[in-house]
Amino acid sequence: MGDARAHIFISGLVQGVGYRYFAMRKANAYGISGFAKNLIDGRVEVVAEGSRSMVDQFISDLKAGPMAAHVTDVRIEWDNPTYEFKGFQGL
């Protein structure tokens, strides 16, 4: 169980470049639960729950993204974890 929840919105060239798969791979490596999904406006939305240090590292990876992506902005809203997720999914 984690002690942090981040609701993250990533802007830039982040759809159609494997960004959600990248997020899933990184989240699984860090033991983070939650999801990543494409939004109609071109952003990717990510909810991540886990230990604060792992979520912080995950966010650093999201800011870089996969090689084909170009991240221009990352917005983060912190909250208390809800423990509603089992693993991490790309929606």
* Sign of the four-CA dihedral 54, 58, 59, 64: positive
Backbone angles phi and psi of 86, in degrees to 5: -115, 100
Catalytic residue among 20, 28, 43, 52: 20
Does the active-site annotation cover 20? yes
Maximal CA-CA distance, the chain: 33
Active-site entry in 25, 38, 43, 75: 38
Q: Is 25 a catalytic residue?
A: no
Residue with tokens 């089992």: 86
* Residues across the chain: 91
Active-site amino acid positions: 20, 38
